[in-house]
Amino acid sequence: MPTTASEPIPAVRMRKVSKAFGDNVVLNELDLDVAPGERVVIIGPSGSGKTTILRVCMTLERPDAGTIDINGESLYHEPDGDGLKPAREKHIRQVRSRVGMVFQHFNLFPHMSALENVALAPIKVHGMPKDEAYELGRQLLDKVGLRAHANHAPGQLSGGQKQRVAIARSLATDPDVMLFDEVTSALDPELVGEVLGVLRDIAEEGTTTMMLVTHEMGFAKEVADRVVMFDHGRILEEGPPDQLLHEPAHDRTRSFLRAVLAH
């Protein structure tokens, strides 16, 4: 894939990505580039399609049109002579392996312990020997402050703990790009801090590209390189958090921020 030398290949490049559910257009020819290591916070009213941005990057929804490149490789298309053709499952899996996602409702595997949740993909997808995978799992649980809970089932953990296990599980696949879909929205207020703390740690390492959909504006201001205001399937405006959150150009952004901060 040709690129100019001055410009690094974006970790995520979305071009004219469209997605509709029936008559409801949630992504309308969206263009979005995310640089390697960049932390982009996506905000916008509910129903604006911001979660769908993450879901099409994770192949949980197929876009109706447009292209998505991960590290310069097309996610849904593969080379066919001079052009592109729809990618086969094998190609999609290969490109997708660079992406990880953390969900609003954790989606931990309830029949496995915390450690088994984290070690599953390294063992089954990456073919790592079991003892190595469990050691990796313990290290990652340690990183999220849950080493002592390695043998607990998700049903025995609090919401905040579950979400931290889910983050460790995603980290275990060593993704270049991590997608965070309202990861604190389902938590009791007093548990939000522990999850944001883990996100902050990942952000500080600076190696992982992060796309976060969140309503935590304080957190966005702290970790984001860029905030994207999304509305009606398109980017309404974007910019550094200080500018966008304090001096937005659009009235709609202003009223959205007022509503979020008031709550």
Partner 1 sequence: MGELILSPLRYERLLEGLSVTLQVLGLAFALGIVLSLVFGVARLSERRWVRGIALVYVEFSRGISSIILLFFMAIAIPILLGLEQRSLLVLGGVALGLNMGGYGAEIIRGAILSVPKGQTEASISLNLTDAQRLRYVILPQAMRVILPPMGNLTIEILKGTALVSLVGLADLTLALRKLDVPQPGVERVPTMVLFANVLVIYFVVAQVINGLFRLAERRTERSYGTRAPIEPVPDGVETAGAGG
Binding-site ranges for partner 1 (CB under 8 A): 58-60, 93, 96-97, 99-101, 103, 105, 107-113, 115-116, 120-121, 124-125, 131, 134, 147-153, 155-156, 166, 169-170, 173
The least distance separating partner 1 from the CB of residue 29, rounded to whole angstroms, comes to 25
The least distance separating partner 1 from the CB of residue 55, rounded to whole angstroms, comes to 8
Distance from first CA to last CA of the chain, Å, rounded? Answer: 46
Which residue, among 53, 165, 43, 62, has the nearest Cα to 107 in the 3D structure? 165
- Longest CA–CA span in the chain (Å) reads 55
- Whose Cβ is closer to partner 1: residue 79's or residue 110's? 110
Local structure of residue 6 (DSSP, 8 states): T
Structure tokens that stand for 204 in this block: 């500080």
- Whose Cβ is closer to partner 1: residue 96's or residue 221's? 96
127: left (phi over 0), alpha (psi -120 to 50) or beta: left
- Whose Cβ is closer to partner 1: residue 78's or residue 222's? 78
Give residues with Cβ within 8 angstroms of 243, minimum separation 6. Answer: none
- Whose Cβ is closer to partner 1: residue 96's or residue 234's? 96
Q: What are phi and psi of 113, to 5 degrees?
A: -70, 170
Contact 103, 184 (CB under 8 A): no
The least distance separating partner 1 from the CB of residue 139, rounded to whole angstroms, comes to 12
Q: What are phi and psi of 261, to 5 degrees?
A: -75, -25
The least distance separating partner 1 from the CB of residue 180, rounded to whole angstroms, comes to 11
- Whose Cβ is closer to partner 1: residue 45's or residue 145's? 145
The least distance separating partner 1 from the CB of residue 155, rounded to whole angstroms, comes to 6
Q: Hey, is 236 helix, strand or coil?
A: strand
- Whose Cβ is closer to partner 1: residue 32's or residue 118's? 118
Q: Hey, is 145 helix, strand or coil?
A: coil
Tokens 């009791």 appear where?
188
Edge-to-edge strand ranges of the sheet holding 99-102: 99-102, 177-181, 209-213, 39-43, 226-231, 234-239
The least distance separating partner 1 from the CB of residue 85, rounded to whole angstroms, comes to 19
- Whose Cβ is closer to partner 1: residue 39's or residue 149's? 149
The least distance separating partner 1 from the CB of residue 258, rounded to whole angstroms, comes to 32
